[in-house]
Amino acid sequence: MAERFHLEHASTGDIFRRAVAEGSPLGREVEEYLDAGKLVPDELTSRVVEQMVVAQTTDYILDGYPRTLQQGRDLEEMLRRRSQQLDVAVYFDLSDELAFERLTGRRVCTECGANYHVKFMPPEKDGVCDRCGAELEVRSDSAEDVVRERLKQFREKTYPLVAFYEERGLLERVAAAPAPGEVARATEQVMLRARPQ
């Protein structure tokens, strides 16, 4: 979508890594949390997004931000200060059951890093990488208890943003259950409405 609409793809993970690599004061703050394996607080996350993205360009897709109601309010405030507004907030709607199945089924090659899914993108031979023949393992973020906790966090912390953007008339829902190509086409339609080319 970023390519299709000539937008910068700004994922929070990439932005954090870039800030740390630059060694800026902000990057050093972020680094302390990442090194300690702690979640970067809302307030600091918002400052990084503002400095690295919102202050730099007006054409971007934010990926992984906002993730909490507080971050949603922070974003609204930083855009308001610049007399800007979001075009659209896209919500990929997926049942907990399907999200659980998709996330826990992911497998990664221990050698070359290739990704698989036991049901949706299985390797030719069970547990073995098609590309290099090495063993596949469960990704560290795909263990069942980890996924259960992520889904719980999503319901509690992120889901309230759906109502937040609905109230502002910015929310578009895309059904995420269909195949990837279909989800991509639906997303494109939603973005075309918000940002006619």
Give me the residues that bind Zn ion (CB under 5 A), please: 109, 111-112, 114, 129, 131-132, 134
Residue closer to Zn ion, measured from CB, 21 or 132? 132
**CB of residue 122 vs Zn ion: minimum separation in angstroms?**
14
Q: Is the CB of residue 14 less than 8 Å from the CB of residue 39?
A: no
Inter-residue contact 66 to 165 (CB < 8 Å): no
Tokens standing for residue 107: 């497998």
Q: Shortest approach of Zn ion to residue 141 CB, angstroms?
A: 19
Q: How far is the CB of 125 from Zn ion (least distance, A)?
A: 12
Residue 91 backbone phi and psi in degrees, to 5? -105, 115
Q: Of the two residues 117 and 173, which places its CB atom closer to Zn ion in the complex?
A: 117
Please, what is the minimum distance in Å from the beta carbon of residue 108 to Zn ion?
Answer: 9
Q: Which of 171, 162, 163, 166 is nearest to 190 (CA)?
A: 171
Distance separating alpha carbons of residues 33 and 160, to the nearest angstrom? 25
Q: What is the Cα–Cα distance from 25 to 65, expressed in whole angstroms?
A: 21
Give the residue with the Cβ less far from Zn ion, 111 or 182.
111
Cβ atoms within 10 Å of 109's Cβ, excluding its own: 20
Other CB atoms within 10 Å distance of the CB of residue 34: 15
Residue closer to Zn ion (CB basis): 20 or 129:
129
How many CA atoms are closer than 13 Å to the CA of 90, on its beta-carbon side? 21
Least distance CB 133 / Zn ion (angstroms): 7
Considering the complex, state which of residue 90 and residue 108 has its C-beta at the smaller distance from Zn ion: 108
